[in-house]
Amino acid sequence: MFTGLVEHMGLVSSIQELDTSESGGNGWTLTISNAAEILTDCHLGDSIAINGTCLTVTEFDKGSFKVGVAPETLRCTNLGDLSVGSKVNLERAMDSNKRFGGHMVQGHVDTTVEIVSIRPEGNSIWFTFQMKEEDKDKMRYIIPKGFICLDGTSLTVCDVDDDQRTFSIMMIAHTQTHVIMPLKKIGDRVNVEVDMLAKYALKSIEDAIKNNKGIETLVKRVLNQ
Map out the domains of the chain as residue ranges.
Answer: 8-92, 111-194, 197-225
How far the first Cα of the chain sits from its last, in Å, is 18
Write down the catalytic residue from 47, 178, 198, 217.
Answer: 47
**Mean pLDDT value across residues 96-102:** 75
Percentage of the chain surpassing pLDDT 70?
94
Fold of 8-92: Elongation Factor Tu (Ef-tu); domain 3 (2.40.30)
The phi-psi region of residue 166 (left if phi > 0; otherwise alpha if psi is between -120 and 50; otherwise beta) is beta
Nearest Cα neighbor of 150 from 191, 186, 118 is 191
Question: What pLDDT, on the 0 to 100 scale, is given for residue 103?
Answer: 86
Q: Is 70 a catalytic residue?
A: yes
Write down the catalytic residue from 14, 21, 56, 117.
Answer: 56
Per DSSP, the three-state class of 90 is strand
Write down the catalytic residue from 35, 49, 54, 76.
Answer: 54
Fold agreement between 8-92 and 111-194? yes
C-alpha to C-alpha distance for 124 and 110, rounded to whole angstroms: 27
Question: What pLDDT, on the 0 to 100 scale, is given for residue 25?
Answer: 86
Instruction: Give the pairing type, strands 53-60 and 27-33.
Output: unpaired
Nearest Cα neighbor of 72 from 30, 111, 113, 21 is 111
23-to-57, 65, 112, 215 alpha-carbon distances in Å: 9, 11, 28, 53
Residue 220 pLDDT exceeds 70: no
Quote the DSSP letter at residue 7: -
Q: What confidence tens digit (pLDDT) does each residue in 176-210 have?
A: 999 999 999 999 999 999 988 878 777 777 777 77
Considering the entire predicted model, what is its pTM? 0.88
Write down the catalytic residue from 14, 21, 70, 117.
Answer: 70
Helices (H), 92-195: 173-176
CA 210, 212, 218, 221 torsion-angle sign: negative
Confidence of residue 83 (pLDDT cuts 50, 70, 90): very high
Q: What confidence tens digit (pLDDT) does each residue in 137-163 have?
A: 999 999 999 999 999 999 999 999 999
Q: Does domain 111-194 have CATH number 2.40.50.140?
A: no
Position with higher pLDDT, 102 vs 61: 61
Q: Is 156 a catalytic residue?
A: yes
Q: Is 35 a catalytic residue?
A: no
